[in-house]
Amino acid sequence: MMETTRSLPASKRFSYAIGQLGWSILINVVSLELVYFYLPPDGSGISTRITQVAFFGVLNAITLIAASGRLLDAFIDPLVAGFSDRSRHPRGRRIPFMARGAVPAAVFLVLMFLAPVSHESAWNIVWLVVAQLLFYIAFSVYVTPYFALLPELGHTPNQRLNLSTWISITYALGIVVAAQTPALADALQSALGLDDRVTAVQIAVGAMGLLALVFMLVPVFTIDERKYCLSKPSTVSPIEALRTTFANRNFDYYVVAAFSYFMGLTIITTGLLYYVTVLLGQPEALVGALLTAMVVVSFLFYPAVNLLAKKVGKKPLVVLSFLSMAGVFSGVFFLGKFPIDGALQAYLLVLLYSVPLAFLGVLPNAILADIAEHDALTTGQPKEGMFFAANTLSQKFGQTFGILVFAGLAVLGKDPGNDLGVRLSGVAGFALCLIAGLTFLRYNEKALLAETVELRAAAARGVEASA
């Protein structure tokens, strides 16, 4: 065990956060573009490459593939976390995994959009399934250890809150960058004189993958994990670590809320291009401007998030944000029906959404780091990686079911003039965020933090006595 408590300097906090900018670009390109690319609405200019036939009356090939990818990813995360928690690599428990995952994650992102046959074909389905499988494996190898670094690099609740604020900023910037993919495709199509919209999108995705890779490698090459982390490998097996993680009562409240929230959020994210083009009759490129505005407004609230969390606690702010976001999602049903310009409706919805997003972008990771530290002090087994993996397990189950719900609703209408399914996705998002807020009311933040202080003091006394 390395007995160091060296605080992470500002330059290293920046380097750590830049890694999140990279993987945020990757995953948000998938979230924003993949279903739209393979399930294009009428008038998109994108040719059909896999069958659009619905299975069981509601599910088509792309949504089944996308959902299965998220589900597989959910099971990979605990395995990666278990290996990372138990690692005795001389460079540390986390950075070596991140180094292995960065390049293949970027490569397989691009390959998902390079279907080998230019028309509808079963070969394209095989290609997408394999590329997606390999993408999510590589993605987990990078992201799960990345999150496990947060409670190790931040040695106090305030340090973890500050780190969480930094990575929330870069995650939001990743959304902005990924959202420029349609606009970049427009520019490339015009500049290169491309007749085929598909080629323009593929080149744009390739550029995003390369940019993401550069950012993901920054913390790998600039942070010496051995200097800033208390690296004590866990001695329990991955299965036992996962079991004891889900036995933590406070974590259970957190994880149920996260499942509901991410299910609702995935429904909305998957539907975003449909809201803009189908419900509001606006061009795809408006999505980039909308998400940029959302992130800028969210940034304005970040100082308030940090300050309020230190004054009133994180829990009440998270609960209020869940409930506020539920109200915003309910407005999706009415898009295009208000007697105002469609673009203005989109901006109003996004600006209202940006306020609770600021709080939910910063606080949950800091809360989870608090829970992980409390558990490590209580049990004597540091399982930071497993806590974040178990959290992403619930998130990805939520994302999987979110994709399936959107697909089922899309059967009820996803085209201009036949849009009931797209509208109902907003109702589903409302209900799920409401459930998340009500569930998280049961998390006892005050008791957990008070016990952590006592346990930390007891551990310090034990070290002094042994010395």
Whether 328 maps to a domain, the answer reads: yes
Whether 47 maps to a domain, the answer reads: yes
For the purposes of burial, counting CB atoms within 10 Å of the CB of 413, is it exposed (0-12), middle (13-18) or buried (19 or more)? middle
Q: Tell me the C-alpha distance between 361 and 59, whole Å.
A: 31
Whether 346 maps to a domain, the answer reads: yes
Question: 53 pLDDT band (50/70/90 cuts)?
Answer: low
Report the pLDDT value the prediction gives residue 206, as an integer from 0 to 100.
94
Terminal alpha carbon distance of the chain: 15
Q: Tell me the C-alpha distance between 83 and 187, whole Å.
A: 44
Whether 6 maps to a domain, the answer reads: no
- Residue by residue, DSSP assigns 324-344 as HHHHHHHGGGGTTTSSS-HHH
Ranked by mean pLDDT, the top range of 84-88, 321-325, 400-404, 406-410 is 321-325
Computed over every residue of the chain, the mean pLDDT equals: 83
Report the pLDDT value the prediction gives residue 2, as an integer from 0 to 100.
39
Q: Domain containing 127 — which CATH number?
A: 1.20.1250.20
Q: What is the CA angle 389-143-139, rounded to 5?
A: 105
Whether 126 maps to a domain, the answer reads: yes
Whether 115 maps to a domain, the answer reads: yes
Whether 390 maps to a domain, the answer reads: yes
Question: 269 pLDDT band (50/70/90 cuts)?
Answer: confident
- Residue by residue, DSSP assigns 380-428 as S---HHHHHHHHHHHHHHHHHHHHHHHHHHHTT--BTTB-HHHHHHHHH
Q: Tell me the C-alpha distance between 1 and 7, whole Å.
A: 17
Percentage of the chain surpassing pLDDT 70?
90
Ranked by mean pLDDT, the top range of 1-10, 262-271, 364-373, 402-411 is 364-373
Question: Do residues 21 and 173 make contact, with C-beta atoms less than 8 angstroms apart?
Answer: yes
Question: Do residues 213 and 22 make contact, with C-beta atoms less than 8 angstroms apart?
Answer: yes
Q: Tell me the C-alpha distance between 424 and 408, whole Å.
A: 10
Question: 1 pLDDT band (50/70/90 cuts)?
Answer: very low
- Phi, psi of 415, deg, nearest 5: -120, 160
Distance of CA 2 to the CA centre of its chain: 31
Q: Tell me the C-alpha distance between 20 and 454, whole Å.
A: 33
In terms of Cα–Cα distance, which of 79, 88, 371 is closest to 241? 79
Question: 3 pLDDT band (50/70/90 cuts)?
Answer: very low
pLDDT tens, position by position, 132-153? 889 989 998 999 889 888 777 7
How many domains would you assign to the chain? 1
3-state DSSP assignment of residue 355: helix
pLDDT tens, position by position, 68-120? 776 777 678 778 877 887 778 878 788 899 999 999 999 999 999 988 877 77
The range of the structural domain enclosing residue 414 comes to 12-228+237-458
Whether 1 maps to a domain, the answer reads: no
